[in-house]
Chain A
Amino acid sequence: MSLIRIALAGEGGQGVQAVAEILTEAAYNENQQTIYIPNFGLEQRGGVSIAFIQFSDQRIGAPKFNKADVVIALSGRAVARTAGYSDENTLFVYDSGFDFDKEDLPKEAKKIIAIPAVETANRVLHPKVFNIIIMGAVIGLTNVVSFEAAKEALEHKLAYKFETNPDLRELNYKAMEIGKQMAEKSLQEEVDNNG
């Protein structure tokens, strides 16, 4: 696998940094080279939080990047904040569940797709697994890690919660699965639309 760069952005508290931690942990466990760096400016307190993630089979250079292969923006502000990371090779993904000025979408992108993660979390599962749906979606969009490795890393991260409430495990796995399918479907629809 050559280098894949992902910028994952959301509101503080949506759990994007946790997703980055789990995904990179999974990649590390699969013997990939991987780097994850959060943006940790003062704005992370209540502002847009971005995780910069890179996966590769070779040693990775600089920890940050100017242009991403995949951008995932999980709020209106996150769209505006991350549009600059998109160029003609970027897959730009946003959540369809919020209103924002479509002018904020990147001018340059290979594809721009919307996924209904917020709505699915609220309607089908539970708001608190929103970020895990996103994690599943990242896997569905990029295949950067295997589903099994992601499950293991998730287990490792949330074991203490699963112990007190075993139902959470199933809920999280289901969220991942739904996220993955949602992403695959969105990519497929995009292909169909473009005929």
Chain B
Amino acid sequence: MEKIIGEPKKAFMTGNETVAWACLAAGADIMFGYPITPQNEVMHYWTRLAPKYNRNFLQTEDELSAGFTTCGAVQVGKKAFTATAGPGNVLMQEPFGMAEAMRLPVLSIIQQRGGPSSGTVVYSQQEVTLTTYGGNGEGHRIVYSTASHQEIYDYVIKGFNTAWKYRFPTFILGDGYQAKMREPLEMYDPQDKGIEIIQPYPLIGIPGKIGEDREPQHLCNIYSLEEELYEVVMRVSAEYESISPEIVEFQARNCEDADIIIISHGVVSRAADDAVKILRAQGIKAGYFRPITLRPFPQQQLREVIVQSGAKCLLIAESAYGQLEKLIKQEIYGETVKIENLFMPGVGIIDFDIIKKVKSII
């Protein structure tokens, strides 16, 4: 594979620029996109970089089209991606649904902005429900929620591999803060870190006679009979559940003896991490749990942490009004631990907010 970075090197840049470099290093062939803040610079940087490395870009007439062209490109074996936010993410749910139905390895970068509707162009964590369970399907998607530029870089590379290995639509869920802020990270070529890049392959037009040389490809998004659809959805559900343990990722710190466990995801987890350190220094037994994959969710791991710690309370902190909380509640149904929340839809959360909330609870 072509080396893009050379020796691993430090860089100081925005999250959107990081996405473009990571896509390049991961061997992406083409981006399809339509402008929307705060992801615009993913397109800007990609269009600046792509011609130098013989990669491609197409700006479509809207997000529906950007999503569907991405679906088309992966079928002919191109490593394709798109990036969007807010109302653009809403429009893309139809192509994302097609990607679920046809098992297309589409990678999408979502930089959440405020909602509903055009909301703000700034920041939120209000696209959790949409990104994990949007569309008229069962949420057969893989969603990584990143918290730093290093993670954006790492998980974009990993996300392409996940998509092409398991063939479920895969998402890098960032936000406007991560998109627009500058911070240091290390860039590298995946092969230098021992990461084997899965090469894209065509899903249609493949050689060999059907029935003799190969099985037929059923890339289907509509069925005549309800029983047919039922069988497919049940089969895909079973497969999704069976691969989930290999995919789930999470972080847990200071949970062993915790009285209260703070659960957050994405950029908010940085504040939660700081808050736990400060609370611990003050003698308050706080723990930190962060799902990195929101779909599939680290259900087993969170249940274990709750049981082993004997924590009295969970505090769910998010820049949305309960979207992460809903995910958690459905995943840990049956646990009797008390659940408190710090919902700050559309605004940032800092360590101070979390500490204040914890002290009001205990």
Residues of A within 8 A of B (CB): 21, 24-25, 28, 33-42, 60-66
Contacts and interface: CB of A to CB of B under 8 A. Distances in A.
Could you say which of A21, A36, A38, A62 has the most chain B C-beta atoms within 10 Å of its C-beta? Answer: A62
Nearest to A24: B182
A41 B267 CA distance: 19
B120 interface: yes
Contacts of A28: 12, 184
Contacts of A36: 181-183
A33 B350 CA distance: 18
Contacts, number: 63
Interface string B262-297: 000001101101100000000000000000000000
A33 B181 CA distance: 13
Contacts of A35: 181-183
Contacts of B352: 66
B235 to A, nearest CB: 43
Interface string B175-201: 011101111100000000000000000
B12 A24 contact: yes
B351 A64 contact: no
A66 B348 CA distance: 10
Could you say which of B12, B37, B182 has the most chain A C-beta atoms within 10 Å of its C-beta? Answer: B182
Nearest to A37: B181
B349 interface: yes
A36 B348 CA distance: 15
Nearest to A21: B182
A66 B350 contact: yes
B184 A33 contact: yes
B267 A63 contact: yes
A62 B267 contact: yes
Nearest to B183: A35
Nearest to B275: A61
B332 interface: no
13 contacts: A24-B182, A33-B184, A40-B122, A61-B271, A61-B274, A61-B350, A62-B274, A62-B351, A63-B181, A63-B183, A64-B350, A65-B350, A66-B350
B252 to A, nearest CB: 18
Interface residues of B, number: 25
Interface of B: 12, 37-38, 120-122, 176-178, 180-184, 267-268, 270-271, 273-274, 348-352
Given A62-B271, A62-B349, A38 B184 contact: no
A33 B149 CA distance: 13
A6 B225 CA distance: 63
B184 A61 contact: no
Contacts of A62: 267-268, 270-271, 274, 348-351
A33 B183 CA distance: 8
A102 B284 CA distance: 42
Could you say which of A24, A38, A39, A61 has the most chain B C-beta atoms within 10 Å of its C-beta? Answer: A61
A19 to B, nearest CB: 13
A97 to B, nearest CB: 30
Contacts of B183: 34-36, 60, 63
Contacts of B271: 61-62
B26 to A, nearest CB: 24
Contacts of A21: 182
Contact of A37 (B180, B274, B350, B351): B180
Could you say which of B37, B121, B350, B351 has the most chain A C-beta atoms within 10 Å of its C-beta? Answer: B350
Contacts of A40: 37-38, 121-122, 176, 180
Nearest to A40: B180
A75 to B, nearest CB: 21
Contact of A34 (B120, B184, B273): B184
Query: 10 tightest A-B contacts by CB?
Result: A37-B181, A61-B274, A28-B12, A62-B271, A61-B270, A62-B350, A64-B348, A63-B181, A36-B182, A63-B177
